[in-house]
Chains A and B, each alone.
Chain A
Amino acid sequence: MNFEFRAIYWREMLKFFRFKSVLFSSLIQPVMWLAFFGLAMSDSFDKLTSLVPNEAGVPVVDYLSYMGAGIIAMDVLFSSLFGGTTLMFDKKFSLLRETLASPVPRFHIILGIGLSGVTKAFIQTFIIIGFGKLIGMDFFEGFTLAQTITAILGIMLLVAVFTLGFLFLSGSIAITIENPEGMQSILTLLSMPLFFISNALYPIESFPDILKLLSMFNPLTLLADGIRYFALGTNFSVMGNHYVYTTADIAFSFMGLIFFALTMLSAAMWRFNKVDI
């Protein structure tokens, strides 16, 4: 068994903590989403939907908590989707040569970068949950300690698989594309439908059927649903929509994300094995 991916991981993390501006903005950005967008939207959403009758006996969750799960999903999406860019610069400035000329298997390069992305995603997730709790997000409300820990582990697992999937995707694009502008525009193009055809920020119940169908298979929806399952419980209502998550639902989320990650891994391997120096 070789552990060369640890070398790649080491370098990625070293540079993550070295670039203070990147570090700072990646940590502060989710907080700003929650603080500005979250508080503003939740107030108006809650006001608008306050007249909608809620089903008796179903716990009501405010919009901020609903959206909190989506903010985690969205933040992790953006950082992992853009996370592969480092590979493009490494290739552009010939830094990749040293690694590609070494005995390190290419899979380890992908894995090392993937795992560093997962670490960064965990940090962001904890910041959002921590800050969210501070401003009144109802995550893990009424949970016992054991339940809370299980819920956090569940969220971490989902976030990890999701992040790997998008980093593999991003890495495949980065290793194929030659210029930063091209990379930027492809990623922006990708993030748009991913973001809006999902239930990250709003329920999809009233979507047109076709969008609803698409959103069900959107990894972002799968992740947001999974986080809500773990953080908000299996039975709640928000903005008049009654949510019931079953074991089948969470299994679907997991399987869907794992399938997505494996598909992206094979894409990344395919692109990487084509790289010539």
Chain B
Amino acid sequence: MTGNVIEVNNLEHSYGSLKAVDNISFTVKQGEIFSFLGPNGAGKSTVINILTTLKKLQKGEARVNGYDVAKDSKSVRRSIGIVFQMLCLDHEMTVSENLEYHGRIYSMPKKERKERIDELLKLTDLESKRNTLAKDLSGGMKRRLELARGLMTRPAVLFLDEPTVGFDIQTRMRMWEYLREIKREGTTIFLTTHYMEEADQLSDRISIIDHGKIIVTGNSDELKNTLGKDLIYLETSNNKTAAEILRSLRSVKSVTEDTKSLRILIGEDVTHVLPQIMEKIRGEGIDITTVNIKKPSMDDVFVHYTGHELREGDDKEKPQGKETAGVSE
């Protein structure tokens, strides 16, 4: 099958008067890794919960694997695998028993269960841990076991809600390798994340989501290219005035004031623009203390489109519902 595995049109969801998801539309193509990038509380989990039929669809339309999320939740559930944000393995069961249980609740025949467990333990490098109790696994291994579990029924699409949250960078990068491998085997992946590098390095396409709205969608290079080839960072003795001066220049597309520095988006070649900018600012009696030129990163893309930085712990407005305590390490 080619085409769209997920189709969402004008999706809205509110918690009381708070609109957590505000008129979102997007599609996820067969075989791609698609990311929702945004801060906590942006509405990412709500969208995932609606698509996985865990939350009732309030307004709009959503289809997963061709099935209507609102009308045919059972078929949707049979088409998907889920890795929840919080670890939810049965710690008192072994690695293979956790998978076995999953196969059983999806009514997989015994022979198929057995074969699939062998395949997935190989894929996630957990073969040697087959008979280990889940509680004795490391954090990364637990996550891998959850990955394997999500793939048990050969789902058309695998949903991952913040799959590497709380992991160190090595563990995170290893997870990415596994996810790429899963993609190579043909599974479509939809993931949410608030890690820039995760969206950047892993995804075929990214939607930046903020305050319940999709701000922009594209692949990592497209998104970065909209910011031009280079970005200039300046630190001056008077950032406020300098910003005003820069905004009046034709060659400057936009200026953002960070805590210490100015981020300058330019429309032309940096080698010509930079001397011009420096001259103009010095001419107004402002000292330039630091100059920095760099290629636009996902961080820059995010700041450019949302007007603020993506900070961890930015979850004041998160209407989390009744989230129970996770199983931590």
Contacts and interface: CB of A to CB of B under 8 A. Distances in A.
A92 to B, nearest CB: 6
Contacts of B149: 98
A101 B101 contact: no
Interface centre among B88, B89, B325, B327 (most CB of A within 10 A): B88
Interface in B78-95: 78, 82, 84, 86-93
A102 B52 contact: no
Contacts of A94: 84, 86-88, 324, 326-327
Interface string A93-105: 1110111111110
B53 to A, nearest CB: 8
Interface residues of B, number: 31
A277 B322 CA distance: 7
A97 B84 contact: yes
Nearest to A112: B105
B54 A277 contact: yes
A97 B88 contact: yes
Given A19-B92, A98-B102, A103 B78 contact: yes
A3 interface: yes
B324 A92 contact: yes
A242 interface: no
A12 to B, nearest CB: 11
B324 A276 contact: no
Contacts of A10: 101, 104
A276 B321 CA distance: 9
Contacts of B52: 101
B106 A93 contact: no
A15 B101 contact: no
B107 A11 contact: no
Interface string B88-129: 111111000100011011110000000000000000000000
A133 interface: no
B168 to A, nearest CB: 23
Contacts of A91: 324
A247 interface: no
Interface string B44-57: 00000000111100
A11 B321 contact: no
B325 A102 contact: no
A104 B90 contact: no
B92 A103 contact: no
Contacts of B88: 93-95, 97-98
A14 B325 contact: no
Contact of A102 (B84, B91, B106): B106
B77 A102 contact: yes
A6 B86 contact: no
Given A94-B86, A95-B90, A97-B84, A103 B102 contact: no
Contacts of B92: 15, 18-19
Nearest to B52: A101
B20 to A, nearest CB: 15
Contact of B77 (A3, A6, A101): A101
A101 B54 contact: yes
B74 interface: yes
A91 B324 CA distance: 8
Contact of B325 (A6, A11, A93): A93
B106 A101 contact: no
A7 B324 contact: no
7 contacts: A4-B104, A15-B92, A92-B324, A94-B84, A98-B102, A98-B149, A101-B82
Question: Closest 3 CB pairs between A and B?
Answer: A7-B104, A94-B88, A7-B105
Given A95-B88, A102-B102, 4 more contacts: A6-B104, A14-B93, A94-B84, A277-B54
